[in-house]
Amino acid sequence: MKKTLPPSSTGSSKTPQKSGESGSKQVSAFLAKAKNLQRFSQGRSRLIFAIDATASRQPTWDLACSLQAEMFHAGAEVASLAVQLAYYRGLRELEFSPWQTDPATLADQMSQVFCAAGRTQIARLLREAIRRQGDQAARALVFIGDAMEENEAVLRDLAGQCRLLKLPLFVFQEGRDPVVGACFAALAEISGGAYAHFDQQSADRLKELLRAVARYAAGGRAALENKSSAEYALLLKQLEH
C-alpha cells in the first residue's frame, strides 16, 4: 500500500524560513541601502577644505572652525555640496576626512584637531588631492595658510596639474609675507582659481569669500554672477583669467 506524505512535506506547503536566510536578506538590504547612499553622495558637488595646522596657525585654525559652517549658508544651491576636511601638521602628518554634508559634523571633526609644530606640506597636500581626483572628483580646493617652505617650482607644476584636472585652488593667506603671498597668488592663477589675503581683523571678509567659493563649487560661475559684494567680484575677476 502506497504511503501518503504528511502535509508538511508536500510542495503546496510553505517551507519555514531559516534564520540564515533572514540574516542574508538583512545583509542584502543593508548593502543595497549603502549603494544608494553612495550614489547620492557621488551626485553632490564636492569641495576640499584644506588648512595648514602647524603651530603658527592655532589662532586662525580656531577662526576657521567658527567660519567653515558659513560655507554651507550661501544659498539653496549649496545644499548639494559635500565637503572634505584636509590638514597637515607635525612631522609629515597629512589627513583627509570622509566627505561630509552636515556642517555640524565637519565642525566637530575640526574641533578635535590641534595644531602641531612642523614644516609646510603643501606639495604633499596637492599631490594627494590630485591622486583623489577620480570618480568622486572635487570641483574646487580651498587652502588656508600663512607660510610656504617648499620648492616653488614644484608647487607651480602641481598647480598646473590641478588646472588640467579642473581643480581650481582658492588660496587664502594669513599674514603679509610678500614671498608667500606671491607664491600663493601664482598657485591660484595657474590652477584657474583665486587668491585673497585675510587676518583676524577681517574675519567677515574671509566668511564672505568662503561663501563665494562654496557657491562656485556648487553652481559654477553662474552662482557668483548675480551677487554684488566685493568678495564675489574679486573671485569672479580672477576666474576670468
List, for the chain, all residue ranges whose pLDDT scores fall below the cut of 70.
1-43, 64, 67-79, 200, 228, 241
Looking at residue 27, its pLDDT comes to 53
Looking at residue 72, its pLDDT comes to 61
Burial of residue 41, with CB atoms counted within 10 A of its CB: 0-12 exposed, 13-18 middle, 19 or more buried: middle
Longest dimension (CA), the chain: 105
CATH code of the domain made up of 45-239: 3.40.50.410
The per-residue DSSP string of 14-27 comes to PPPPPHHHHHHHHH
Looking at residue 73, its pLDDT comes to 59
Q: Taking a C-beta distance cutoff of 8 angstroms, is the pair 46, 138 a contact?
A: yes
Looking at residue 36, its pLDDT comes to 43
Sequence ranges of the domains in the chain:
45-239
pLDDT tens-digit readout, 108-126: 888 788 889 999 999 999 9
Looking at residue 181, its pLDDT comes to 97
